[in-house]
Chain A
Amino acid sequence: MGLRERARGHETFLAGLTLIALLMIVSILAPVLAPHDPTVIHAADGLKPPSATYPLGTDNLGRDILSRIIYAARTSLLVALGSVLVAGMVGIPLGLIAGYAGSATDSVIMRVLDAILAFPVILLAILVVATLGTQTINLILTIGFVFIPYFTRLVRGNVLALKEREFVTASRASGAADGYLVTRVILPNILSPIVVQASLTMSLAVLIEAALSFLGLGVQEPTPAWGSMLQNSQLYLRQAPWFVFSPGLCIFLSVLAFNLIGDGLRDLLDVGSRRR
């Protein structure tokens, strides 16, 4: 059976794919789909329960919650996508170098990355965002930075496993240069685990972005973000219990979707056990 047919039969993978497709459509069409301007304050309508005008109710400033979670999807996707790109663009070459060069180069790269890994991800992100500021680009760079070791370790391990294999030694014997070997012979053979890792890392990125914004260290008001909406909702748990549900559900579904896609891809592409 081809990959395409097997993917069609993989229900959880398809579910994840559908959810992400929805998320993307919602992000792109936010101005069309949102019933209200997400930042306009209706002072008289603060903390209104769900109604025809405000399908998911309003927040403390009378802003439409539905419109805000729709626009917040943009923030989440952008940060997740951006940070995984950053991590991949730095982490993959580093892993190729560490794995292929070996010896001292390998040790130095891996020790530095161990230092990054010794930090709880959130603590590191808090530190960087608190020092450099909460602009979106900083969020992307920070979360991306934290994920570099994930890609480097994965790629390095795969390079180590591949570099003594016959097709590589054969290629080397026929005079291929190191650069060619790494980028044209080895890299194409480890794309599958990289794709799986990228998808699983996206889910972590969504979680971390939301956690940071929950702590007040994410995208700042009035720009909506799911995490900061949750932080806000905690202050009004008594008066407006509905406020807490929708932003959290969005985080949950996005994380779930990326996990399902990642796990599905691992099955479909037949990649070995999960490594983090």
Chain B
Amino acid sequence: MATVIIRRLLQLVPVVLLATTLVFVLVRLAPGDPVQQQLGARGSRDPARVAALRQKMGLDKSIPVQYAIWLRNAVTGDLGISVKSNDQVLDLIKPKLVATLELIVAALAIAITIALVLGTAAAVRSGTWVDQVARAFVVTGLAIPSYWLGLIFLLLFAVSFKWLPVSGYVPFREDPVQNLKHLILPALCLGLFEAAFFTRFLRAGLLEVLDQDYVRTAQAKGLAEQTVVARHAMKNALIPMVTVFGLELGTLVGGVVVIEQVFGWSGVGWLALTAVKNRDYPLLQGIVLLVAIGVSLANLLADLSYTFLDPRLRSLG
């Protein structure tokens, strides 16, 4: 088990390296000069100041050298300084990360709850109206753009009924009630899409498992249906779910970027878009590095729990 973990962790290194290289090159191909951006039109007219700042920001060196320097610092936790605000990149990202993680966790909680209830009901009552409802939910949920759903929710619950705030983010520590009020709609928008996705997999997984001999044996023993589903079938049906979960995290983070924009939830996605607009290279690189590591780690965890859930896979690695 330990060797599997170490080997998979080592496999992460080239992935993260490639991802950051890609960003590094792309960002430098971009039109717009961060030095001129920072100095403004007037400051840019003074070649001495331009050259000085360029040197200070390390932009006078070749791209490979810049990358090497950035990487060396990144390993020690120094992601550089934001061009726009002159703050440490890591300090800028940290508070946003809290907001984004809160949104992701809430969305996942909603998604998993719905999927467990609806997916199980649909599989157990396969072919009945419950199943029909679940399938309609899946087909609709997968096709509705989350930001459109967000706008309609805003129109209904914030603009018309005025039950919930239109947009913004309040840290939980400052005001827990306001924090949750702001959280409901964005979490619901993200959660419903994921719920559709998970429901589909859980239903399919359970249907497959419920058809197997060992489940029939359990039923024949006279066990209650709930026991058969909860104790015997569910564990095996969850295995494919876990893999999907890891892969889906990338999609979820993508959805977060858009939803944060709709609801003015100032998280990492919101920060990334601001960084793009400001041509804030160091900030953007920092965000991408952290997101790439995060998503890769989540995938790794999913793979590992896969081996945990299915003992047959432990020796394969």
Task: Name A's B-contacting residues (CB within 8 A).
Answer: 12, 111-112, 114-123, 126-128, 130-133, 203, 207, 210-211, 214-215, 230, 233-234, 237-238, 241, 244-245, 247-248, 251-253, 255-256, 259-260, 273, 276
Contact of A112 with B257 in the complex, beta carbons under 8 Å: no
Additional pairs, 9, CB under 8 Å, beyond known A120-B291, A244-B151: A118-B19, A118-B295, A119-B295, A122-B255, A127-B23, A131-B29, A211-B145, A248-B148, A252-B143
* Cα distance, A238 to B262, chains bound together (Å): 15
User: B217 CB to closest chain A CB, in angstroms?
Assistant: 25
Nearest A residue to B145 via CB reads A251
Q: Using Cβ atoms and an 8 Å threshold, which residues of chain A touch B291?
A: 119-120, 123
* Cα distance, A130 to B152, chains bound together (Å): 28
Q: Is B139 an interface residue (CB 8 A)?
A: yes
Contact of A121 with B254 in the complex, beta carbons under 8 Å: yes
Partner of A276, one of B27, B247, B295: B247
* Cα distance, A214 to B269, chains bound together (Å): 14
- Known interface pairs A251-B145, A276-B247. Does A132 touch B19 (Cβ–Cβ under 8 Å)? no
Q: Using Cβ atoms and an 8 Å threshold, which residues of chain A touch B204?
A: 273
Task: Name B's A-contacting residues (CB within 8 A).
Answer: 11, 14-19, 22-23, 26-27, 29-31, 139-140, 142-145, 147-148, 151-152, 154-155, 159, 204, 247, 250-255, 257-258, 261-262, 269, 272-273, 276-277, 284, 288, 291-292, 295-296, 299
Contact of B288 with A123 in the complex, beta carbons under 8 Å: yes
Decide if the interface of chain A is mainly helix, strand, loop or mixed.
helix
Question: What are the 10 A-B residue pairs with the smallest beta carbon separation, nearest first?
Answer: A248-B148, A115-B18, A122-B254, A131-B30, A120-B254, A256-B143, A120-B253, A255-B143, A130-B276, A115-B19
**How many contacts A-B (CB < 8 Å)?**
137
Contact of B139 with A256 in the complex, beta carbons under 8 Å: yes
* Cα distance, A133 to B17, chains bound together (Å): 25
* Cα distance, A210 to B255, chains bound together (Å): 12
Q: Using Cβ atoms and an 8 Å threshold, which residues of chain B touch A120?
A: 250-254, 257, 291, 295
User: B116 CB to closest chain A CB, in angstroms?
Assistant: 20
* Cα distance, A273 to B207, chains bound together (Å): 13
Nearest B residue to A260 via CB reads B139
- Known interface pairs A215-B258, A215-B261. Does A114 touch B15 (Cβ–Cβ under 8 Å)? yes
Q: Using Cβ atoms and an 8 Å threshold, which residues of chain A touch B27?
A: 127, 131
Partner of B273, one of A116, A126, A207, A210: A126
User: A239 CB to closest chain B CB, in angstroms?
Assistant: 10
* Cα distance, A241 to B155, chains bound together (Å): 7
Q: Using Cβ atoms and an 8 Å threshold, which residues of chain B touch A234?
A: 151, 154, 262
* Cα distance, A126 to B140, chains bound together (Å): 26
Contact of B276 with A126 in the complex, beta carbons under 8 Å: yes
Q: Using Cβ atoms and an 8 Å threshold, which residues of chain A touch B269?
A: 123
Q: Considering residues A123, A211, A245, A253, which has the most beta carbons from chain B within 10 angstroms of its beta carbon?
A: A123
* Cα distance, A119 to B257, chains bound together (Å): 12
Contact of B250 with A118 in the complex, beta carbons under 8 Å: yes
User: B156 CB to closest chain A CB, in angstroms?
Assistant: 10
Partner of A115, one of B14, B145, B159: B14
Contact of B257 with A122 in the complex, beta carbons under 8 Å: yes
User: A107 CB to closest chain B CB, in angstroms?
Assistant: 10
User: B5 CB to closest chain A CB, in angstroms?
Assistant: 17
Contact of A118 with B255 in the complex, beta carbons under 8 Å: no
Contact of B155 with A111 in the complex, beta carbons under 8 Å: no
Q: Using Cβ atoms and an 8 Å threshold, which residues of chain B touch A132?
A: 26, 29-30
Contact of A248 with B143 in the complex, beta carbons under 8 Å: no
- Known interface pairs A120-B257, A237-B154, A260-B139. Does A111 touch B145 (Cβ–Cβ under 8 Å)? no
* Cα distance, A174 to B226, chains bound together (Å): 57
Nearest B residue to A129 via CB reads B276
Partner of A214, one of B11, B17, B147, B288: B147
- Known interface pairs A210-B145, A241-B159. Does A115 touch B247 (Cβ–Cβ under 8 Å)? no
Partner of A252, one of B11, B148, B253, B284: B148
User: A131 CB to closest chain B CB, in angstroms?
Assistant: 4
Q: Using Cβ atoms and an 8 Å threshold, which residues of chain B touch A122?
A: 254-255, 257-258
Contact of B14 with A111 in the complex, beta carbons under 8 Å: yes
